[in-house]
Amino acid sequence: MFPLTSSIEFSQGAELAIALALGIGFGFALERAGFGSARKLSAVFYLYDMAVVKVMFSAVVTTMVGLFALSAMGLLDLSELYLEQTNLAAQGVGGLLFGAGFLIGGYCPGTSMAAIATGRKDGVMFALGMLAGVYAYAEFTPQLDDWYKATAIGEHTLPSLTGIGMGWWTLAFVAILLGAAWGIARLESRFKGLRPPGPRPAAPSRA
Amino acid sequence: MSTSTHWQSGVEDRAASPTAAKPFWNPYAAGVLLGLVLLATYLVTGRGLGATAGFAAVAAWLAGTFTPGHVQSSAVHLKYWNEGAPLLNWTLFLLVGALVGAALSGWQGRRFSLTIERGPRVTDGQRLALAFVGGLIAAFGAKLAKGCTSGQALTGSSILNAGSLVFLLAVFAAGFGLAYFVRKEWL
């Protein structure tokens, strides 16, 4: 039955309408989480507010539980889901660069939309930097795409690499989430001194 | 308009004021909602979320508009060219939806504020420059790794993709490793 695209051929208009509708939910969730704020996002690296880890971890586990449950009930064919090839060098180095850009820029590509929508001028600058970056990649280093393909090692998941089924991994992730929630609460309380006390001096306060 | 204390989700007296920004949701609750959106995306499209491809589509459109010759010479621009209609890109529509959804959420929570987010020890100009530079570096990392926080960290991790989990660990390693050196920007 799922994914729907395995049995239904959507028109381009329908596909784009679906993208728009899912995007509304995506942006709504990001803004509700506080991810329109660069200070809230960057706070994760100073340990006084780890909302980024809490939100990402609980989102990943929610999706994982849903995918596993639906596939166990025979409603979802996991093999029909797109799986990006693994390229350890690309994902390692790319991840390091991305993490640096995330901390320096204060946002990531998706959260910059939430920032722009709620008036953050630095969010606009981040998005312009993103645009310049993908443009530069396409202009100057398109051959990196060929290198990626040539050195990728195929599609790999933890279940396929270890032989341990997705159900066990899902259970493990739920357990790690519960343990992490406890650990994060302790970290936040230890580093709460770094939390800014109030509105920064330059900001006008109307409250 | 809210004050710039919107990012504080803690309890404070001004939260009682009818014009003050409402606090954010509990992060675990927001995470579950985000996970349900990602799950729905998987169930409907067979692929997860993304964000960087939307930027790449705009880049291909810009190239096609101002330097048409460059589109044909770059396999990356061509990938997003979509037979001359690069703006009719799935992920770009997702991003437009995200703008709308975040605006709705921010408006309802009275969190809209025309402001620049920074720590007290950098100027607005420095922060804007750093935001641009950060975006540039993040874009390159996302292109190299074939995904960003949306496409790799969330989408890939939830299906236990090995490369996505490596990406996720690398992102946090870089962030924690650099945090001390850029502390003036944020603390």
Predicted confidence band of residue A198 (pLDDT cuts 50, 70, 90):
low
User: Could you give the ipTM of this predicted complex?
Assistant: 0.94
Helix (H) or strand (E) holding A107: none
CA distance A123 to chain B (A): 7
* B45 and B111, same domain (yes or no): yes
* B69 and B141, same domain (yes or no): no
Whether A118 and B120 lie within 8 Å, measured CB to CB: no
Instruction: Give contacts of A 115-134 with B, CB under 8 A.
Output: 115-123, 125-134
Q: Is residue B125 part of a domain?
A: yes
Contact list, A84 vs chain B (CB under 8 Å): 146-147, 151-152, 156, 161, 163-164
- Give the structural domain span for B138: 118-187
Average pLDDT (A130-153) is: 97
Q: Are the CB atoms for A55 and A134 separated by under 8 Å?
A: no
Sign of CA dihedral A183, A186, A189, A190: negative
Q: Is residue B12 part of a domain?
A: no
Picking from A134, A171, A174 by the largest number of B CB atoms within 10 A of its own CB, the best residue to mutate is A134
The answer to whether residue A206 scores a pLDDT higher than 50 is no
* B98 and B175, same domain (yes or no): no
**Mind listing the pLDDT tens digit for each residue in B86-133?**
999 999 999 999 999 999 999 999 999 999 999 999 999 999 999 999
Contact list, A114 vs chain B (CB under 8 Å): 98, 102, 105-106
* B89 and B125, same domain (yes or no): no
Among B54, B81, B115, identify where a domain stops.
B115
Contact list, B169 vs chain A (CB under 8 Å): 95
**Mind listing the pLDDT tens digit for each residue in B149-181?**
999 999 999 999 999 999 999 999 999 999 999
Q: Are the CB atoms for A42 and B114 separated by under 8 Å?
A: no
The answer to whether residue B5 scores a pLDDT higher than 90 is no
* B32 and B108, same domain (yes or no): yes
Predicted confidence band of residue B19 (pLDDT cuts 50, 70, 90):
confident
**In which residue are the tokens 């991994």 written?**
A169
**Mind listing the pLDDT tens digit for each residue in A46-94?**
999 999 999 999 999 999 999 999 999 999 999 999 999 999 999 999 9
* B2 and B92, same domain (yes or no): yes
The rounded radius of gyration (Å) of the Cα atoms in chain B is 19
- State the average pLDDT for chain B: 92
* B127 and B79, same domain (yes or no): no
Average pLDDT (A1-20) is: 96
Domain count, chain B: 2
Whether A97 and B106 lie within 8 Å, measured CB to CB: no
Contact list, A181 vs chain B (CB under 8 Å): 28
Average pLDDT (B42-62) is: 97
Contact list, A133 vs chain B (CB under 8 Å): 55, 135-140, 143
Whether B146 and A91 lie within 8 Å, measured CB to CB: yes
* B102 and B129, same domain (yes or no): no
Round to whole Å and give the CA distance between B158 and B39: 9
Cis preceding linkage at A201, omega within 30: no
The answer to whether residue B14 scores a pLDDT higher than 70 is no
Average pLDDT (B4-20) is: 52
Whether A127 and B55 lie within 8 Å, measured CB to CB: yes
The answer to whether residue A207 scores a pLDDT higher than 70 is no
Whether B58 and A131 lie within 8 Å, measured CB to CB: yes
